[in-house]
Amino acid sequence: MSTKIKGAEYPLAKIFSSDFDYEIPSFQRPYAWTEEEAGDLFDDLYDFYVNEAQDEQYFLGSIVLVKEDDKPHAEVIDGQQRLTTLTILLSAITSRLSGEDRNDFKTYIIEPGRASQGLASKPRVHIRKRDNDFFKKYIQGMDFESLFTLNAEAQDTEAKTNIIKNAKLLMGRIEEKLGTEEEIIRFGAYLVQRCFLVAVSTPTRQAAFRIFSVMNSRGMSLLATDIIKADIIGAIRESWHEEYNGKWEEMEVEVGRNGFNDLFGHIRMIIAKVKAKKALQDEFYSVVFPDTDGKDITERDATDFIDNILSPFSEAYRVVKNSEYVSTSGADLVNDILRWLNRIDNSDWVPVAMLFYAKHKDDAALMNKFLRRLERLAAFMRATSWDVTHRIERYAKVLSDLENMADDGSFGNSIELTQEEIKEFLDRLNSDMYKMVSNKRNYLILRLDSFVSDGSATYDSKILTIEHVLPQTVSAGSQWEEWWPDPDKRAEWVHKIGNLLPLAKRTNSQAQNYDFNLKKEKYFRGKAGVAAFALTTQVLLYTEWKPEIVKARQEELIGVYKKNWDL
């Protein structure tokens, strides 16, 4: 069989003709174009239709196919998003026509069949098996009336959701911009005659994957994992494609498309243990396949990566990010600490948690012990404002320690805080916490509240306000001035944790300056007469709020941090 690569520019009238019978293989990612991409496509097509001369052509990009000469069957390696969206658009146009015009345009969606040439009637585009029946019934069958009664968000695949939403959007654009049947016909004629795609074809998958990788490695709108997938799957024999692409797709569905891209970055960190210096696809091959340059990945390299690296770390990523640890006992403790780790506003800790889970997931007690050390380290670095470079350097040392973990169950020195770091952490907790950036301050205060409540509290409110008990501004003649006559003393304590409370409500500027008892009753209590946070409940028990009380409370709360973070 010849491996010659062919490329030619065709109008859509040719692209959607008997010369091509498109099949989107099961290993391809789902139909992922959203209303944004579908809307941009229509708007660009319509603007060109309205503003450009009648002899100008509109270029829609390229598609990559596995296709033999003189045979219509074409396996789509790249271009399924455009082919699927164009089919939806052509079907929406056709559904608005009648008589011979409808029959004419329908041929771009359905091969009408010709007995004399051995051509059976069938759709021109076959999307992935999981969604094909849905696509055939509603889009290629032009049953838009039934389609639009379906709940897009209730579908069992992302592709079906996108098909419904994009069909509604494109039909709406047609009604808004074109209106009459005559105008729809003129736009449809422009679409099939003046809009072109370049079809690049080769008879082998391996060659097609290589073309795909080269064409899409320079800033195209693909995630790095799409390009990596093309190379890895391209290295596996065809008879195994369905099995390994099924594994790949299942993992991608479980963690989400963007999460899947993040997962690969975390795998790179686990193996390389250094901060990324280039784009993921530029570094991934040299890290994961150090004996290749990405062009000579062997079948054994590819299958070993999917089975022994991607699969266990995909599970680890899902568990860590979703706090979904499962065990016969102790799972609730592990998931609680994972939820707190996920509240930290960086994900540099994730590779460490993933590696530990992959190695020790069957030991819930050890998982709990390690993750508590990890959360302490992550909180320390966040509270003391470590930059990303130094955080990654520290986590790289932790990863190295874990790979050489001793039989005695010790985690190594890197995850522990030195005495100097403990002092720095305590100094930061004792400082004016209110003046910290909000995400850092909120983490530290909510974490303290969880310690005070012994882990029984939940934190689901979308509103979080950090409030001062002693107000920032003290009015002359008020109770606050009587209790806090020294302005320097007020300035010393007003922003410290001993004087701060979390509230699940918006700030009330008037209430901030209420006298203490009124502030408790009108502002600190919730609608049911109780406070939403353990720290706030504690303050409700006080009858006055003087300097000695705040000082004692500060010492008490710092003691809570010390006990729970082992400081």
Can you give the residue ranges of every domain in the chain?
Answer: 6-215, 224-321, 324-416, 436-565
pLDDT at 128: 87
- The residue to which tokens 């992935």 are assigned: 128
The answer for 70, left when phi > 0, alpha when psi is -120 to 50, beta otherwise, is: left
Q: Do 188 and 60 form a contact (C-beta atoms < 8 A)?
A: no
- For the record, the structure tokens of 421 come out as 């770091």
Q: What is the average pLDDT across 403-427?
A: 90
Residue 461 in this model has a pLDDT that exceeds 60:
no
3-state SS class at 394: helix
pLDDT at 66: 86
| Burial profile 520-539: b = 16 or more Cβ within 10 angstroms, e = fewer | beebbbeeeeebbbbbbbbb
Residue 553 in this model has a pLDDT that exceeds 80:
yes
Radius of gyration of the chain (CA): 31
pLDDT in tens, 116-135: 776 678 899 999 888 999 99
Measured CA to CA, the distance from residue 26 to residue 233 in angstroms comes to: 12
- Which tops the pLDDT comparison, 187 or 66? 187
Residue 23 in this model has a pLDDT that exceeds 50:
yes
pLDDT in tens, 47-89: 888 887 677 788 888 888 888 888 899 988 888 999 999 999 9
- For the record, the structure tokens of 21 come out as 């019978």
Closest CA to 315 of 273, 259, 363, 364: 259
Average model confidence (pLDDT) across the chain: 87
pLDDT at 526: 59
Percent of the chain at pLDDT > 70 equals 88
In 419-478, which ranges are E strands?
465-468
Which band of pLDDT confidence, cut at 50, 70 and 90, is reported for residue 520?
confident
Q: Give, in degrees to the nearest 5, the angle at Cα 440 between 436 and 442.
A: 95
- Name the amino acid, one letter, at 84: T
Residue 148 in this model has a pLDDT that exceeds 60:
yes
Q: What is the average pLDDT across 22-42?
A: 86
pLDDT in tens, 428-448: 999 999 999 888 999 999 999
- The residue to which tokens 């708007």 are assigned: 43
Measured CA to CA, the distance from residue 285 to residue 283 in angstroms comes to: 6
Residue 506 in this model has a pLDDT that exceeds 70:
no
The answer for 429, left when phi > 0, alpha when psi is -120 to 50, beta otherwise, is: alpha
- For the record, the structure tokens of 542 come out as 């006080």
Which of 186-195, 248-257, 299-308, 327-336 shows the lowest mean pLDDT across its residues?
248-257
Measured CA to CA, the distance from residue 170 to residue 139 in angstroms comes to: 12
Measured CA to CA, the distance from residue 214 to residue 359 in angstroms comes to: 36
In 401-464, which ranges are E strands?
none
Which band of pLDDT confidence, cut at 50, 70 and 90, is reported for residue 3?
low
Measured CA to CA, the distance from residue 194 to residue 216 in angstroms comes to: 25
List of residues 6+ apart from 182 with CB closer than 8 A: none
Measured CA to CA, the distance from residue 89 to residue 177 in angstroms comes to: 14
Measured CA to CA, the distance from residue 45 to residue 58 in angstroms comes to: 8
Which of the 8 DSSP states describes residue 294? S
List of residues 6+ apart from 557 with CB closer than 8 A: 448, 452, 497, 498
Which band of pLDDT confidence, cut at 50, 70 and 90, is reported for residue 219?
very low
Q: Is the pTM of this model over 0.75?
A: no
Residue 458 in this model has a pLDDT that exceeds 90:
no
C-alpha distances in angstroms, 562 versus 343, 426, 565? 20, 8, 5
pLDDT in tens, 474-495: 888 889 999 999 999 999 999 9
pLDDT in tens, 357-404: 999 999 999 999 999 999 999 999 999 999 888 999 999 999 999 998
